[in-house]
Structure 1
Amino acid sequence: MDIFNNRAGFCPSCGSILPPLQVKGNVFCFNCKQEFSPDVYIGEKSEYTINFNSYDPSELNKKVHRESETEADGPVVERKCPKCGHEKMSYATLQLRSADEGQTVFFTCLKCKYKESENS
Protein backbone atom coordinates (compact mmCIF):
# COMPACT_ATOMS: atom_id res chain seq x y z
CA MET A 1 0.00 0.00 0.00
CA ASP A 2 1.44 3.39 -1.03
CA ILE A 3 0.67 5.86 1.72
CA PHE A 4 3.31 8.45 0.74
CA ASN A 5 2.54 8.66 -2.98
CA ASN A 6 1.76 12.39 -3.11
CA ARG A 7 5.32 13.81 -2.96
CA ALA A 8 7.74 13.57 -5.88
CA GLY A 9 11.22 12.37 -4.87
CA PHE A 10 10.04 10.57 -1.73
CA CYS A 11 9.57 6.83 -1.33
CA PRO A 12 5.88 5.96 -1.84
CA SER A 13 6.15 3.14 0.73
CA CYS A 14 8.12 4.56 3.67
CA GLY A 15 8.34 8.31 2.95
CA SER A 16 12.17 8.48 2.93
CA ILE A 17 13.98 10.83 0.57
CA LEU A 18 14.99 8.94 -2.55
CA PRO A 19 18.51 9.20 -3.98
CA PRO A 20 19.08 11.48 -7.00
CA LEU A 21 17.63 10.20 -10.25
CA GLN A 22 20.22 8.50 -12.45
CA VAL A 23 20.25 8.73 -16.25
CA LYS A 24 19.03 5.16 -16.75
CA GLY A 25 17.39 2.56 -14.58
CA ASN A 26 15.15 2.35 -11.60
CA VAL A 27 15.42 4.01 -8.21
CA PHE A 28 16.15 2.05 -5.01
CA CYS A 29 15.02 3.32 -1.61
CA PHE A 30 17.91 3.08 0.87
CA ASN A 31 15.49 2.69 3.78
CA CYS A 32 12.94 0.05 2.73
CA LYS A 33 15.03 -1.45 -0.12
CA GLN A 34 12.16 -1.28 -2.62
CA GLU A 35 12.67 -0.52 -6.30
CA PHE A 36 10.65 2.11 -8.17
CA SER A 37 10.48 3.38 -11.72
CA PRO A 38 11.75 6.92 -12.43
CA ASP A 39 8.09 8.02 -12.41
CA VAL A 40 8.40 8.66 -8.64
CA TYR A 41 10.12 11.93 -9.63
CA ILE A 42 7.29 13.21 -11.83
CA GLY A 43 6.14 16.57 -10.63
CA GLU A 44 9.43 17.41 -8.91
CA LYS A 45 10.69 20.85 -9.75
CA SER A 46 13.65 22.92 -8.75
CA GLU A 47 12.80 26.05 -6.78
CA TYR A 48 16.34 27.39 -6.68
CA THR A 49 18.53 29.17 -9.18
CA ILE A 50 22.29 29.46 -8.71
CA ASN A 51 23.90 32.61 -10.09
CA PHE A 52 27.68 32.88 -10.25
CA ASN A 53 29.58 36.15 -10.06
CA SER A 54 31.34 37.11 -13.25
CA TYR A 55 35.10 37.61 -13.24
CA ASP A 56 36.29 40.97 -14.54
CA PRO A 57 40.10 41.39 -14.40
CA SER A 58 39.80 45.16 -14.85
CA GLU A 59 37.83 45.40 -11.56
CA LEU A 60 40.56 43.47 -9.76
CA ASN A 61 43.18 45.87 -11.13
CA LYS A 62 41.16 48.88 -9.89
CA LYS A 63 40.82 47.32 -6.45
CA VAL A 64 44.56 46.80 -6.06
CA HIS A 65 45.50 50.35 -7.10
CA ARG A 66 42.88 52.39 -5.29
CA GLU A 67 43.93 54.83 -2.59
CA SER A 68 40.61 56.36 -1.57
CA GLU A 69 39.24 55.75 1.93
CA THR A 70 35.70 55.68 0.55
CA GLU A 71 36.36 52.36 -1.19
CA ALA A 72 37.02 50.10 1.81
CA ASP A 73 36.79 46.30 1.56
CA GLY A 74 34.34 46.18 4.46
CA PRO A 75 33.16 48.12 7.51
CA VAL A 76 35.56 50.79 8.74
CA VAL A 77 36.70 51.13 12.36
CA GLU A 78 38.95 53.56 14.16
CA ARG A 79 42.06 51.42 14.65
CA LYS A 80 45.64 52.61 14.34
CA CYS A 81 47.70 50.88 11.67
CA PRO A 82 50.91 49.49 13.22
CA LYS A 83 52.82 50.10 9.98
CA CYS A 84 51.92 53.67 8.91
CA GLY A 85 49.96 55.03 11.89
CA HIS A 86 46.79 55.76 9.90
CA GLU A 87 43.74 55.87 12.19
CA LYS A 88 41.21 53.89 10.11
CA MET A 89 41.13 50.26 9.04
CA SER A 90 38.49 48.10 7.39
CA TYR A 91 37.73 44.63 8.71
CA ALA A 92 36.22 41.26 7.86
CA THR A 93 35.49 38.28 10.11
CA LEU A 94 35.67 34.53 9.54
CA GLN A 95 35.02 31.52 11.75
CA LEU A 96 38.31 29.66 11.25
CA ARG A 97 38.54 27.85 14.58
CA SER A 98 36.00 25.55 16.20
CA ALA A 99 32.47 26.82 16.72
CA ASP A 100 32.87 27.26 20.49
CA GLU A 101 35.73 29.75 19.99
CA GLY A 102 35.63 33.32 18.74
CA GLN A 103 35.98 34.57 15.19
CA THR A 104 39.17 35.70 13.49
CA VAL A 105 39.06 39.38 12.53
CA PHE A 106 41.13 40.55 9.55
CA PHE A 107 42.02 44.25 9.48
CA THR A 108 43.25 46.18 6.42
CA CYS A 109 44.72 49.69 6.61
CA LEU A 110 42.88 52.08 4.32
CA LYS A 111 46.06 54.00 3.52
CA CYS A 112 48.92 51.51 3.08
CA LYS A 113 46.83 48.28 2.77
CA TYR A 114 48.77 46.60 5.60
CA LYS A 115 46.91 43.51 6.83
CA GLU A 116 46.78 41.99 10.29
CA SER A 117 44.54 39.50 12.08
CA GLU A 118 43.22 39.15 15.60
CA ASN A 119 41.51 36.21 17.30
CA SER A 120 38.51 37.49 19.23
Structure 2
Amino acid sequence: MTQQGTIKKLLPGGRAEVEVTRRSACGHDCAKCGGCGGLETQTLYVTARNHTDAGIGDRVLIEGETGRVLGLAALVYMLPLVLFFIGYAIGNAAGGGASGALVGGVLFALGIIGAIFYSRRMKQNGEVPFEITHKL
Protein backbone atom coordinates (compact mmCIF):
# COMPACT_ATOMS: atom_id res chain seq x y z
CA MET A 1 0.00 0.00 0.00
CA THR A 2 1.51 3.33 -1.09
CA GLN A 3 0.34 6.82 -0.08
CA GLN A 4 1.55 10.39 -0.42
CA GLY A 5 1.86 12.59 2.61
CA THR A 6 3.56 15.56 4.25
CA ILE A 7 5.97 15.29 7.17
CA LYS A 8 4.56 17.22 10.12
CA LYS A 9 6.97 16.23 12.90
CA LEU A 10 10.34 14.46 13.22
CA LEU A 11 10.40 11.86 15.98
CA PRO A 12 13.26 10.14 17.80
CA GLY A 13 14.64 6.88 16.46
CA GLY A 14 14.60 7.89 12.78
CA ARG A 15 10.82 8.15 12.60
CA ALA A 16 8.47 10.88 11.40
CA GLU A 17 4.81 11.79 11.80
CA VAL A 18 3.27 12.02 8.34
CA GLU A 19 -0.05 13.65 7.45
CA VAL A 20 -1.86 11.50 4.88
CA THR A 21 -5.09 12.42 3.14
CA ARG A 22 -7.21 9.31 2.79
CA ARG A 23 -9.31 9.30 -0.36
CA SER A 24 -12.03 6.97 -1.49
CA ALA A 25 -11.47 4.42 -4.23
CA CYS A 26 -13.88 6.23 -6.56
CA GLY A 27 -11.50 9.14 -7.16
CA HIS A 28 -13.83 11.65 -5.47
CA ASP A 29 -15.37 13.05 -8.63
CA CYS A 30 -18.60 13.75 -6.76
CA ALA A 31 -19.93 16.18 -9.37
CA LYS A 32 -20.32 13.25 -11.78
CA CYS A 33 -21.33 10.53 -9.33
CA GLY A 34 -22.79 11.73 -6.04
CA GLY A 35 -22.93 8.10 -4.87
CA CYS A 36 -21.01 8.64 -1.65
CA GLY A 37 -23.01 11.67 -0.62
CA GLY A 38 -20.09 14.04 -1.13
CA LEU A 39 -18.15 12.93 1.93
CA GLU A 40 -15.00 14.91 2.59
CA THR A 41 -11.57 13.33 2.53
CA GLN A 42 -10.15 12.26 5.87
CA THR A 43 -6.77 13.37 7.21
CA LEU A 44 -4.78 10.78 9.14
CA TYR A 45 -1.49 11.02 10.98
CA VAL A 46 0.78 7.97 10.79
CA THR A 47 4.24 7.26 12.13
CA ALA A 48 6.72 6.05 9.54
CA ARG A 49 10.40 5.08 9.49
CA ASN A 50 12.34 7.94 7.91
CA HIS A 51 15.42 6.54 6.14
CA THR A 52 15.42 9.31 3.52
CA ASP A 53 16.65 12.73 4.65
CA ALA A 54 13.12 14.12 4.56
CA GLY A 55 12.38 17.05 6.85
CA ILE A 56 9.35 18.85 8.18
CA GLY A 57 7.10 20.06 5.36
CA ASP A 58 8.53 17.67 2.74
CA ARG A 59 6.09 15.75 0.54
CA VAL A 60 6.93 12.06 0.74
CA LEU A 61 5.81 8.70 -0.53
CA ILE A 62 5.14 6.19 2.25
CA GLU A 63 4.69 2.48 1.84
CA GLY A 64 2.96 0.16 4.26
CA GLU A 65 3.69 -3.49 4.86
CA THR A 66 0.42 -4.73 3.36
CA GLY A 67 0.19 -7.93 5.39
CA ARG A 68 0.83 -6.12 8.65
CA VAL A 69 -1.61 -3.30 7.87
CA LEU A 70 -4.33 -5.83 6.98
CA GLY A 71 -3.57 -7.80 10.14
CA LEU A 72 -3.96 -4.66 12.25
CA ALA A 73 -7.23 -3.83 10.48
CA ALA A 74 -8.50 -7.34 11.21
CA LEU A 75 -7.54 -6.94 14.85
CA VAL A 76 -9.32 -3.62 15.22
CA TYR A 77 -12.45 -4.40 13.20
CA MET A 78 -12.95 -8.16 13.26
CA LEU A 79 -11.79 -9.27 16.71
CA PRO A 80 -14.43 -7.33 18.69
CA LEU A 81 -17.15 -8.47 16.29
CA VAL A 82 -16.12 -12.13 16.51
CA LEU A 83 -15.91 -11.88 20.30
CA PHE A 84 -19.41 -10.39 20.40
CA PHE A 85 -20.89 -13.36 18.52
CA ILE A 86 -18.98 -15.86 20.66
CA GLY A 87 -20.22 -14.11 23.81
CA TYR A 88 -23.76 -14.00 22.46
CA ALA A 89 -23.69 -17.74 21.78
CA ILE A 90 -22.24 -18.50 25.23
CA GLY A 91 -24.81 -16.26 26.95
CA ASN A 92 -27.71 -17.81 25.05
CA ALA A 93 -26.49 -21.33 25.85
CA ALA A 94 -26.06 -20.49 29.54
CA GLY A 95 -29.26 -18.61 30.26
CA GLY A 96 -30.86 -17.24 27.12
CA GLY A 97 -32.66 -13.93 26.89
CA ALA A 98 -30.71 -10.81 27.67
CA SER A 99 -27.70 -12.69 29.01
CA GLY A 100 -26.55 -13.41 25.45
CA ALA A 101 -26.47 -9.72 24.58
CA LEU A 102 -24.82 -8.86 27.90
CA VAL A 103 -22.01 -11.41 27.55
CA GLY A 104 -21.60 -10.46 23.88
CA GLY A 105 -21.36 -6.77 24.78
CA VAL A 106 -18.75 -7.44 27.47
CA LEU A 107 -16.60 -9.51 25.10
CA PHE A 108 -17.01 -6.85 22.38
CA ALA A 109 -15.73 -4.19 24.81
CA LEU A 110 -12.82 -6.45 25.82
CA GLY A 111 -11.90 -6.85 22.15
CA ILE A 112 -11.78 -3.08 21.68
CA ILE A 113 -9.76 -2.61 24.88
CA GLY A 114 -7.33 -5.32 23.72
CA ALA A 115 -6.85 -3.58 20.37
CA ILE A 116 -6.18 -0.26 22.12
CA PHE A 117 -3.57 -1.82 24.43
CA TYR A 118 -1.90 -3.58 21.48
CA SER A 119 -1.74 -0.28 19.58
CA ARG A 120 -0.19 1.49 22.57
CA ARG A 121 2.36 -1.28 23.02
CA MET A 122 3.35 -1.04 19.36
CA LYS A 123 3.79 2.71 19.75
CA GLN A 124 5.91 2.33 22.90
CA ASN A 125 8.14 -0.28 21.22
CA GLY A 126 8.61 1.96 18.19
CA GLU A 127 7.01 -0.59 15.85
CA VAL A 128 5.62 1.07 12.74
CA PRO A 129 4.17 -0.64 9.67
CA PHE A 130 5.04 2.31 7.38
CA GLU A 131 8.26 3.50 5.79
CA ILE A 132 9.10 6.65 3.87
CA THR A 133 10.46 5.47 0.52
CA HIS A 134 10.92 8.71 -1.48
CA LYS A 135 10.85 12.47 -1.18
CA LEU A 136 8.64 14.04 -3.83
Q: TM-score, normalised by structure 2?
A: 0.19
TM-score (ref. length: structure 1): 0.21
Q: Which structure dedicates a bigger proportion of its chain to helix?
A: 2
Which structure has the greater CA radius of gyration?
Answer: 1
